[in-house]
Structure 1
Amino acid sequence: MFDLLGLSAQHEMVYRAMLQRSDLNVAGLAEYLAVSPDQVREALDLLADLALIRLDPHGDHARVVRPQAGLMALLAKVETEVAVRQRQVEATRAAIAAIATAHDDHNQVGESRILEGIDTVRERLAELAHTARTECLSFTTGRGQSPDTIEAEGPLNQLALQRDVRIRNVYQDSFRNDPATLAHARWMASLGAQSRTTPTLPMRLVIVDRETALVPIDPDNPRRGALELHSPGVVAGLVALFEQVWRIATPFGEQIALDEHGLTPQERELLRLLAAGHTDESAARKLAISLRGVQRLMTSLTERLGAASRFQAGVHAGYRGWV
């Protein structure tokens, strides 16, 4: 209980025994507590150093200082040390803020900031996780999250959720086939986060407190880094985009619903992409699935349409209102 004052459990035990049995000497305390005399002497030396007892220079007895005086004096000393430490922490915080501001100004371009490289982006996300107040919205593209990304994001998300920051994330449907991402999403849900999926996403995106947005410098290569945006108009537009996608996305844990034609959202999106002129390779990148996955989906759709070729499948799909 008194470790804050510098007393271990054993020191406290000896101190309490002395309060109860002021008549006992070192040998008596050792017998009373079932410890060795050396342990009692070590405790007495420390208690004397802390001015909680006064040793008898001519014997092996000690007198206990009134607890209200001795313990309260120790506590006052600790409180003074804590106050000094807090002032040091605040001064350090101010210095860090000044350095961070100078660094940010160096990389600032108007109301945006350039974050070069994936490591810089991750460092900035860590900062935002500590400062987020109300909400974090995000789009996560690709087939699944890498183990190092999950390991890096997990503690940060947990920290934000413990501060009642609302987290909503939209993945691509392809993530439903990745066991590690599914496990991560379930763990996040157990902490209060919400996740949904949709066939395609326009880009990676993070929005914090509807004030700060991170978008990739190159949507096709997120490892190049990100742009940090603060313009209220731009951020509001990205929030509106997120909310539009969120409304039509399917919550994790729910079966993906089929439309009136029996199509999954991924199948319908594939037909739309191919009708718009995308190749199988391009459609695979958009859907974050393999080329073989696209070909399997297309074979299934062609058979269901009763078509003899992909061209004929496109005609039939248009005729039936599938695209």
Structure 2
Amino acid sequence: MLELLGLSSLAERLYQAVLTDPARGVAALARDTGMTDQQIRSALDELADLALIRPSAHADGTLWPVSPAVGLSALLAAAEDEAAAKQRQIEATRTAIAALAAEHEEHRHHRAEAAIRLDSLDSVRGRLEELAANAVTECLSLNPGGAHRPDARAASAQLNEQALRRGVSIRAICRESFRNDPDTLAHARWLTDLGGQMRTVPIVPTPVVIVDRRVAIVPLDPADPRHGALEVTSPGMLAVACALFDQLWATATPFGSTVAVDEQGLTTAERTLLELAAAGHTDEAAGRKLGISARTVKRQMADLMARLNAESRFQAGVRAAHRGWL
């Protein structure tokens, strides 16, 4: 209990024993406390260094405990002074960090008017970490695919927790197919348990991260994030990115909810698959957009054809259109 004041557990136990009966010698203290002679002598040295015992004024060669109201209060006052000095150092460091960050941000904005090119995956990740650490109101993201592995979750856990504790809203949109991936499903549970929100749609058109609706990170090549990204601050481009997110969020299915069906008995994913097939996408192409395998696409199309009582995909398209499914 008194470790904060610099007392070890043995010294604290001995101090309490000495306060109870100051006249006991080493042998009696060893018997009553269960400590060895060496432990007692070491603890006595510790108490003496902390000015919690002092030579007796009445018996030469003996020690007398200092009252807790005096000795411990003095140690507590010293600890408070040390903590106050440490807090002043922390505040000075925080001020220095804020000044350095502001200078860095000003330098970044001088380099470009509307967009800054982030040429590598490392620079993208580093900038996302900066933005997350300084987010004030919300972090929004569109996530087309890719499992959230345990190491990736661990890397972002602290920043997400800190942001949520500051009152920052975290909202993420993922593909419906993520429910089939254990790692990404674990990430969704982890995020929502922290207080974040996640919703799903059949197709996420492109990866985007939006912070406080004042900056967006968009990939140079949506198919390969290794090519880097653009940091966008142009009001017009931000308006487009935010509108895309808001539209998808309004129609997306909250994580943990049962996938809804419409008046025709179709899920959003099934209707999207029919639209892709009608547009001429192959099973492989449709699977890439939906985040599922070509085999799964074939199985789902077979089920839809059976429900439409169609013998071919062409016939299925005609009957789907006739029923208002398209």
Shorter chain as denominator, the TM-score bin is 0.7 to 0.9
Q: What does the per-residue CA deviation read over 1:79-134, in whole Å, with 9 as the maximum and x for residues that have no partner?
A: 33333333333444444445545555555422444333333333333344443344
5+ long unaligned stretches in structure 1: none
* Identity across the alignment (%): 53
Residues 147, 33 of structure 1: alpha-carbon distance in 2 compared, 3 angstrom cutoff: closer
- Matched with 1:294 is 297
Secondary structure of the equivalent of 1:257?
coil
The answer to whether structure 1 residue 144 and structure 2 residue 147 are counterparts is yes
How far apart are the structure 1 equivalents of 2:204 and 2:165? 28
Deviates more, 1:247-256 or 1:58-67: 58-67
Q: Quote how far apart the aligned CAs of 1:7 are.
A: 0.8
- Matched with 2:246 is 243
- Matched with 1:10 is 10
Residues 203, 65 of structure 1: alpha-carbon distance in 2 compared, 3 angstrom cutoff: same
Alignment of 1:164-175 (within 5 A): 164-175=167-178
Deviates more, 1:157-166 or 1:197-206: 157-166
How far apart are the structure 2 equivalents of 1:29 and 1:11? 12
How far apart are the structure 2 equivalents of 1:39 and 1:147? 46
Secondary structure of the equivalent of 2:216?
strand
- Matched with 1:73 is 74
Deviates more, 1:117-126 or 1:99-108: 99-108
Secondary structure of the equivalent of 2:221?
coil
How far apart are the structure 1 equivalents of 2:234 and 2:54? 67
How far apart are the structure 2 equivalents of 1:111 and 1:70? 63
Q: What does the per-residue CA deviation read over 1:189-210, in whole Å, with 9 as the maximum and x for residues that have no partner?
A: 3333222211011212223333
Secondary structure of the equivalent of 1:206?
strand
- Matched with 2:163 is 160
AA aligned opposite 2:54? R
Q: Quote how far apart the aligned CAs of 1:260 are.
A: 2.2
Alignment of 1:154-233 (within 5 A): 154-233=157-236
Q: Quote how far apart the aligned CAs of 1:140 are.
A: 1.6
How far apart are the structure 1 equivalents of 2:283 and 2:277? 8
The TM-score with structure 1 as length reference comes to 0.85
The answer to whether structure 1 residue 252 and structure 2 residue 255 are counterparts is yes
Q: Quote how far apart the aligned CAs of 1:248 are.
A: 1.0
Q: What does the per-residue CA deviation read over 1:4-54, in whole Å, with 9 as the maximum and x for residues that have no partner?
A: 111112111222222222222333333332212221211111121122222
Q: Quote how far apart the aligned CAs of 1:176 are.
A: 1.3
Residues 218, 101 of structure 1: alpha-carbon distance in 2 compared, 3 angstrom cutoff: farther
Residues 42, 111 of structure 1: alpha-carbon distance in 2 compared, 3 angstrom cutoff: farther
AA aligned opposite 2:69? Q
- Matched with 2:321 is 318
* Root-mean-square deviation (Å): 2.9
- Matched with 1:35 is 35
AA aligned opposite 1:315? V
How far apart are the structure 2 equivalents of 1:50 and 1:115? 56
Asked if the contact 1:11–1:47 (Cα under 8 Å) also holds between the matched residues in 2, the reply is yes
The TM-score with structure 2 as length reference comes to 0.85
How far apart are the structure 1 equivalents of 2:105 and 2:260? 45
Q: What does the per-residue CA deviation read over 1:223-242, in whole Å, with 9 as the maximum and x for residues that have no partner?
A: 33333334455444433322
Residues 128, 56 of structure 1: alpha-carbon distance in 2 compared, 3 angstrom cutoff: farther
How far apart are the structure 2 equivalents of 1:265 and 1:144? 22
Residues 75, 124 of structure 1: alpha-carbon distance in 2 compared, 3 angstrom cutoff: farther
Residues 271, 143 of structure 1: alpha-carbon distance in 2 compared, 3 angstrom cutoff: farther
How far apart are the structure 2 equivalents of 1:219 and 1:182? 22
Asked if the contact 1:138–1:204 (Cα under 8 Å) also holds between the matched residues in 2, the reply is yes
Alignment of 1:274-289 (within 5 A): 274-289=277-292
Residues 68, 287 of structure 1: alpha-carbon distance in 2 compared, 3 angstrom cutoff: same
How far apart are the structure 2 equivalents of 1:103 and 1:131? 13
Q: Quote how far apart the aligned CAs of 1:174 are.
A: 0.7
Asked if the contact 2:148–2:187 (Cα under 8 Å) also holds between the matched residues in 1, the reply is no
Deviates more, 1:169-178 or 1:74-83: 74-83
How far apart are the structure 2 equivalents of 1:143 and 1:272? 23
Residues 201, 3 of structure 1: alpha-carbon distance in 2 compared, 3 angstrom cutoff: same
Secondary structure of the equivalent of 1:263?
coil
Asked if the contact 1:256–1:264 (Cα under 8 Å) also holds between the matched residues in 2, the reply is yes
Asked if the contact 1:48–1:55 (Cα under 8 Å) also holds between the matched residues in 2, the reply is no
Alignment of 1:111-130 (within 5 A): 111-130=114-133
Q: Quote how far apart the aligned CAs of 1:179 are.
A: 1.9
Q: What does the per-residue CA deviation read over 1:268-322, in whole Å, with 9 as the maximum and x for residues that have no partner?
A: 1122233344444332222122222223333333343333433333333323322
Secondary structure of the equivalent of 1:269?
helix
Residues 247, 53 of structure 1: alpha-carbon distance in 2 compared, 3 angstrom cutoff: same
